[in-house]
């Protein structure tokens, strides 16, 4: 679907930097009715009191996920009711916000240093955004700051830039370093009588994905042994399961999970969702190529053979790798059209038009899904997630809800997913390991997930993991999340 150009006076707004969660601490109340201009503003120093603002009321307690943020009255955002959003940082820039620390923190929160002793969260953030800890400047209700004109790309330049593969998904992303030290430490930990599990955890838990192939190759060359085979011989249970997941690296771990989800009787739909939903086009292509090379079958053919009807159609849309790129602008007219189409396919009729909803959500970028969800709630006073839960059921519901959460707030999505592994009778250990390993590859995102978990569940994620696991299994999970 091509997006028409915005009307005069509108600024294209796209995907802001990835979900920015501070370490666990204090959430200040959001600014209602005000979005800052696209330029630097002076902010009081961290911890300084905000300027007086009438009789400002505290932000209400957190509502259920998907209904956390209210929306100001119509007209407060202008004609269409959409706040401007930041463009994503260029490839190669850090994942935190590129703005300096004195930048106004809403809508994309800034990265700032935080003291080690944090205060607990006490109020919910805006939808999908966790601001830095401290005091917000006072809101100015009724004022909408002027928008700045964006720099247009040169004539003939592409309007969008493809999202690059994630670390570990490009075969050319291999570290060049002397891996003899880690390789020798790993061999020493498993040589002779007994195993030094602490050394295995220390060496592997935080190893970047680009270094893993080098360490495995160096281990083989220096010791004439397979590192994976030695791990299997020396370790056991979920500790072994976790170390092998790390040694596969993120791409081969995705391939392993997909094969595990599709093999045998039945399908592990949650595992398919974890690997495939709301991934970049580049990552989906890399996964399909790696799956074909590993199993000599196409991923699409295996999905079609294992699934059926509309669920199979939804995954075919996902595997087409034709989502809007994150650099694509978010046009208000296109958002309005998607909101109307989603409403007609759900609440406005008896029986949801499942394929229409799937078509919209599988083809939009995270930034566009975020804008659609915000606009839907602003227009119909119901969250899009609630609508999906009312009109869908089973795996289709789970998949579509994950798409909405991925667009709105990836860190909160993953915090909820981890709690699902630990809540109820018994711990879903394999799923917990798989999700922790997937999260730990991005250290900044892992910190965001811990902040989101603390905010939603009012308890520490690492303490929660310790309460559900034990022994070396516990220690490796905790090390990955620390």
Confidence tier at 466 by pLDDT (50, 70, 90): very high
Distance CA 480, CA 206 (A): 6
Percentage of the chain modeled with pLDDT above 70: 67
Q: CA of 201: how far to CAs of 141, 196, 205, 242, 421, in Å?
A: 52, 9, 5, 10, 22
**pLDDT, mean of residues 49-71:** 40
Q: What is the pLDDT of residue 89?
A: 44
**pLDDT, mean of residues 308-315:** 93
User: Residue 149, exposed/middle/buried by CB under 10 A (0-12, 13-18, 19+)?
Assistant: exposed
Whether the predicted pLDDT of 53 surpasses 50: no
**Residues in the chain, how many?**
482
Whether the predicted pLDDT of 51 surpasses 90: no
For residues 331 and 4, the answer to whether their CB atoms sit within 8 Å is: yes
Distance CA 357, CA 354 (A): 5
Q: What is the pLDDT of residue 351?
A: 86
Distance CA 258, CA 265 (A): 14
Q: How far apart are the first and last CA of the chain?
A: 42
Whether the predicted pLDDT of 40 surpasses 50: no
User: Residue 123, exposed/middle/buried by CB under 10 A (0-12, 13-18, 19+)?
Assistant: middle
**pLDDT, mean of residues 19-47:** 43
Whether the predicted pLDDT of 368 surpasses 80: yes
Of 4, 13, 25, the C-alpha closest to 450 is 25
Question: Other C-beta atoms within 10 Å of 175: how many?
Answer: 14
Q: What residue spans of 130-280 are helical by DSSP H?
A: 180-190, 197-204, 212-223, 227-234, 237-262, 269-276
pLDDT in tens, 222-281: 999 999 999 999 999 999 999 999 999 999 999 999 999 999 888 999 999 999 999 999
pTM: 0.70
Q: What is the pLDDT of residue 16?
A: 45
**List of residues 6+ apart from 71 with CB closer than 8 A:** 81, 374, 377, 378
Distance CA 34, CA 271 (A): 40
pLDDT in tens, 88-136: 444 444 444 333 333 333 344 334 333 343 434 334 444 444 444 434 3
**pLDDT, mean of residues 443-468:** 97
Confidence tier at 287 by pLDDT (50, 70, 90): very high
């Amino acid at each position: 679907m091509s997006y028409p150009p915005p009307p005069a006076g509108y600024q294209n707004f796209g995907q802001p930097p990835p979900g920015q969660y501070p370490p666990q601490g204090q959430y200040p109340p959001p600014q209602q009715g005000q979005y800052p201009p696209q330029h630097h503003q002076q902010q009081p120093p961290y911890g300084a009191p905000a300027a007086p603002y009438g009789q400002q009321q505290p932000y209400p307690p957190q509502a259920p996920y998907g209904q956390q943020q209210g929306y100001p009255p119509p007209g407060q955002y202008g004609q269409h009711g959409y706040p401007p959003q930041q463009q994503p940082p260029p490839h190669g820039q850090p994942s935190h916000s590129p703005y300096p620390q004195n930048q106004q923190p809403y809508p994309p929160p800034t990265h700032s240093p935080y003291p080690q002793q944090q205060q607990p969260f006490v109020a919910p953030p805006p939808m999908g955004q966790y601001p830095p800890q401290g005091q917000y400047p006072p809101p100015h209700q009724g004022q909408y700051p002027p928008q700045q004109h964006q720099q247009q790309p040169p004539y003939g330049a592409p309007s969008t830039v493809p999202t690059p593969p994630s670390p570990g998904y490009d075969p050319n992303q291999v570290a060049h370093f002397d891996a003899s030290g880690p390789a020798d430490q790993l061999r020493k930990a498993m040589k002779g009588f007994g195993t030094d599990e602490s050394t295995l955890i220390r060496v592997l838990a935080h190893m970047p994905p680009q270094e893993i192939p080098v360490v495995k190759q160096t281990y083989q060359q220096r010791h004439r042994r397979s590192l994976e085979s030695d791990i299997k011989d020396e370790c056991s249970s979920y500790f072994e399961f976790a170390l092998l997941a790390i040694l596969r690296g993120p791409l081969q771990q995705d391939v392993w999970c997909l094969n595990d989800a599709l093999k045998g009787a039945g399908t592990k739909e949650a595992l398919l969702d974890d690997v495939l939903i709301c991934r970049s086009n580049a990552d989906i292509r890399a996964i399909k190529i790696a799956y074909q090379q590993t199993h000599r079958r196409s991923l699409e053919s295996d999905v079609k053979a294992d699934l059926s009807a509309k669920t199979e159609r939804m995954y075919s849309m996902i595997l087409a790798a034709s989502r809007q790129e994150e650099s694509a602008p978010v046009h208000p007219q296109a958002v309005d059209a998607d909101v109307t189409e989603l409403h007609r396919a759900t609440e406005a009729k008896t029986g949801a038009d499942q394929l229409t909803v799937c078509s919209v959500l599988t083809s939009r970028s995270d930034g566009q899904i975020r804008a659609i969800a915000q606009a839907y709630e602003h227009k119909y006073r119901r969250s899009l997630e609630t609508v999906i839960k009312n009109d869908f059921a089973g795996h289709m519901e789970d998949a579509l809800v994950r798409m909405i959460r991925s667009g709105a707030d990836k860190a909160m999505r993953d915090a909820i997913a981890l709690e699902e592994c630990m809540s109820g009778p018994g711990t879903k250990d394999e799923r917990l390991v798989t999700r922790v390993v997937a999260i730990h590859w991005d250290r900044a995102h892992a910190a965001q997930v811990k902040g989101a978990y603390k905010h939603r569940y009012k308890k520490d994620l690492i303490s929660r993991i310790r309460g559900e696991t034990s022994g070396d299994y516990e220690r490796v999970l905790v090390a990955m999340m620390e």
